[in-house]
Structure 1
Amino acid sequence: MHTLLSQPAPAAGPRPPLVFLVHGGPADHDRDAYDPQVHSLVASGFAVARVNYRGSTGYGPRWRTAYAEGVGLAQVADLVAVRADLLRRGLAREDALGLWGTSWGGYLTLLALGTRPGLWRAGVAVKPVADCAAAYRAGTPALRALDERLFGGTPETVPDRYRRSSPLHYAADVRAPLLVIAASLDAKCPPGQVRGYLAALRAAGVAHESMWLATGHDGYAGADHMAVLRRALGFLDRHLRPAPAAHQAPRFPESGVSGSTGPSGAPGSHDPNSVH
């Protein structure tokens, strides 16, 4: 399974925290090329793993349709397999592993935190799918068609498949600190299903933070991008660094963005028919 590993310059002391930067799509793949989000993480002292899990493009039709364990669950299994391999090779520390994903990547982040709660120390989900059935009902016609292909039907015809693959079903099982960043005008990952997921976290007493952007799903104004980057890096810094050697994330210019809640990205979609 192809995984791109980016690491900061070697330094004395323990290995740096490692963040799984989970790509969206699902019809997309990470490339061995410059990525500003990877750059920001590495410059802040984090190692970064990018996994081209099953469902990614670039590996042929069999790889794109290999969902044997179920929608999302197959991809989480791939992230877990890479996590185990990195630990076996001594390239990561079990006490400093986090997840960060946007859109479908945010969905996989939430699903991994809920279905494999003992494996991660922090998670950041940006504009995610959090409730598969609710996202289907509030989504665009193109996204409903995509869901019907992936799940083999609608929430009414195959409800168990939607429930089994939905982060909402596992919200009470989340144990790692979680930051959810959502957009109030998002048509691809609608805000209502994110609010329902946040309500489930609150009802279960799960520690989490949230931030809301007054934007749609795709793209960022410069101020929004900086606000998300600063909030996410600060959150990961607090939860993945050992307390005695706490590291201060780089200071970013003030964005002027308002509307966040709680103690706050990635590029938008390339394909209008994909969640990304």
Structure 2
Amino acid sequence: MTSELPYGSWPSLITAEAASAASPRIDGARFVGEDVWWGEPVPAEAGRVAVRRRGDGGDVEDVLPAPWNARSTVHEYGGGAWTADEAGTLFFVEKTDQRVYSVVDGTVRPLTPVAGHARHGGLEWRDGVLLAVREEHDPGLAVPRRAIVRIPVDGSAADDDAAIVVLVRGSDFVAQPALSPDGTHLAWVAWNHPNMPWERAEVRVGRIEGGTVGEWTAPVTGDRSVLQPRWLDEQTLLYLDDASGRWNLMRWRLGDEAPRASFAPADADTGGGLWVLGLSWYTIADDHVVAVRTDGADHVVTVDPATGATTTLPVPAVSGVVIEDARGARALVSGAVPGGGTGVWSVDASDGTVVAVRESSPPWGEEWTPRATAVTVDGPSGPVHAFAYPPTNPDVTAADGERPPYVVFVHGGPTSHVGPVASSRAAYLTSRGIGVLDVNYGGSTGYGRAYRERLRGQWGVVDVADVVAAARGLIDGGLADPDRVAIAGGSAGGWTVLGALVTGDVFSAGISRYGVGDARALAEDTHDFEARYLDGLIGPLPEAEQLYIQRSPLTHAERFSAPLLLLQGSEDAVVPPAQSEAIRDALSARGVPHAYVLYEGEGHGFRRAETIVHALESEYAFLGAVFGFDTPGVAPIELQR
């Protein structure tokens, strides 16, 4: 029998501790001998990334034990921090020193020297060769220098930096190296400032002569995003190209003219924002391609390269899908499922069989997990896509006629995407009677290039208008209490939170995690990977300086009136604490209710269990204080003025 309580004050078995440990994301997966290995963060161990496998008895065991932490900081966001060979040798980047190590039978030894200026990521093992992206932060360089390198696996470079072979450099950024099966050619992705890889990037192909790449060519060039080269055979290269408006699979033979059309065209994206190294949207499994296609939600398909024939596979993941590895006709796929769990599945491209390798579900029952409803509303720039999650609790209901409070989630990036899966953060709130609306505002991936480019030159305008339109859609549909709608976002999402609070009155409260308040300061202070990102989002400096000033929420500090919670990591190199602290000071000067929490040792994104727990409880307590409901089991928060 259910009880009746006001929205927001519902007792819930989904504690912040349970939410922090639920369904960890998968950080790479590989076939190794007869096993499958995968990486996953461990919040209870300071967020380190462990590499794991399933032992003979079925229990999960660590291949990379504590305190080792497989985490790259190339581009600050890292990625591709581990790989393995067929015999069971693990290669990984240790977070603390960014050296590459190998692990054989539990013995860890360095493969690269002690060099505080060098970082590694995007590890790629193919046919006895270990490739990596190397990023050098030499004090004598104005900006980091990057290259694709070959690292000897015999340990000969552990004390000799000269033993690391630089295969190619010459562009501001490199990623996704692919060695041809006969070892004669290298393909890779390259791009230069001021572009981001989803704006303009090219695949380059060069012959390896004397151990390095000399001359190279690009199958296609121009205003397109070309990603993830993979060799079908010694002469044939597959890659992704969004010239049609969608990232689709392309095929090119050495020496041929550029292809004019995809061999498997689709009104969906096989590709996305290359924020981290090691991402893979397809792989080659014998005579088939296994790929993810995204149009709001993800689905996995097999494609026959000869005919283009496509078959959808029954992989349960619908969000964050990565095509990790292949062996023979089998491919490894990771992602998140509608119930909030994550997993790794082995799919057989020859017959469509899908076998779960590792699945995790939240520790609470499915009756506690909200299911996504796809929502589309009209915005000033066109349709706006979102996923709605209503209050969900099997034991409690609200009085007839009461409308629930809602929190509008704004993802970071801004060139990113959320799929139809309730995060543990969302379930924590919905189980307490607070609805969540997750918005893919204009500029998000997953809906084609035209949708992405709505934000070009319009950051702080289109994103703000879209989240406002999404919130008004909830209110106009009678789904949310118009006086109790909050907005929450992190990083670029925090910018949109702050922008929405100073340009309108639809939101009664805001939560900003390491949000951007001053675009001009961000352009000066942020790291090299995003140093020119704002050229496309707002405009180049100094020509567009007045736009930077006009768009920045801090410029309009006198318009802040809604209560605001600010959460920040002390070691954030992407959005430094000065941004949140400037907002805090502006709120204090105006007497606006607020709270500021600085988490020591955290960077851009919270990883430690204790931080995640405190942040969740702080957000819930903040909403209770602002919207006037009790927060059972969570202490009140003190708001400053």
TM tier relative to shorter chain: 0.7 to 0.9
Q: Are 1:44 and 1:249, in contact at CA under 8 Å, matched by a contact in 2?
A: no
Query: Quick check: 1:157 aligned with 2:540?
Result: no
Alignment of 1:96-245 (within 5 A): 96-116=484-504, 118-154=505-541, 156-214=542-600, 215-241=602-628
1:68-101: CA deviation from partner (whole Å, max 9, x where unpaired): 7821211110111112221221111111110111
The 8 Å contact of residues 111 and 170 in structure 1, kept in 2 or not, is answered as: no
Tell me the CA shift for residue 152 of structure 1: 2.1
Q: 5+ unaligned residues in a row in structure 2: which ranges?
A: 1-383
Q: Percent identity?
A: 32
- Assess, with a 3 A threshold, how the Cα gap between structure 1 residues 34 and 49 changes in structure 2: closer, same or farther: closer
Correspondent of 1:248 among 623, 626, 631: 631
Amino acid at match of 1:218: G
CA offset digits 1:103-146 (Å, max 9, x no partner) = 11111111111111x22111110111111111111110111121
1:6 counterpart (386, 389, 401): 389
Cα displacement (A) at 1:194: 2.3
Larger radius of gyration: 2
CA contact (8 A) 2:387 2:437 kept: yes
**Aligned letter for 2:594?**
H
Runs of 4 or more consecutive aligned structure 1 residues displaced over 3 Å after TM superposition: 249-252, 260-263
Q: Is the 8 A contact 2:523 2:534 kept in 1?
A: yes
Partners of 1:131 and 1:194 within 8 A in 2: no
1:172–1:206 contact (8 Å) kept in structure 2? no
Letter paired with 2:406 = L
Alpha-carbon contact 1:54-1:66 (below 8 Å) kept: yes
> Cα distance, 1:29 vs. partner?
1.3
Evaluate the alpha carbon distance shift between residue 247 and residue 204 of structure 1 in structure 2; reply closer, same or farther with a 3 A threshold. closer
Pick one of 451, 465, 472 that aligns with 1:77: 465
Q: Does the 8 A contact of 1:21 with 1:50 survive in 2?
A: yes
Q: Which runs of 5+ in 1 are unaligned?
A: 253-259, 264-276
Change (3 A) 1:183 1:170: same
Greater helix content:
1
TM-score using structure 1 length: 0.85
Describe the SS at the equivalent of 2:532: helix
The code of the aligned residue for 2:385 comes to H
Paired amino acid for 2:413: G
Equivalent residue, structure 2, for 1:58: 446
For the 8 Å contact 2:442–2:462, the answer to whether it is kept is yes
SS in 2 for 1:66: helix
Partners of 1:181 and 1:77 in 2: CA distance: 24
Judging by fraction of residues, say which structure has more strand: 2
What is the distance in 2 between the residues matched to 1:3 and 1:140?
30
SS, match of residue 568 in structure 2 = strand
2:479 to 71, 75, 91: 91
Q: Post-superposition shift, 1:17? A: 0.5
Indicate conservation of the 8 Å contact 1:16/1:46, yes or no.
yes
Q: What is the CA–CA distance in structure 2 between the aligned matches of 1:126 and 1:3, rounded to whole Å?
A: 20
Counterpart residue identity of residue 248, structure 1 = T
| SS of the residue 1:129 aligns to | coil
Contact 2:404 2:479 in 1 (8 A): no
RMSD: 2.0
CA-CA distance at 1:250 after TM superposition:
4.1
Kept after mapping to 2: 8 A contact 1:22/1:108: yes
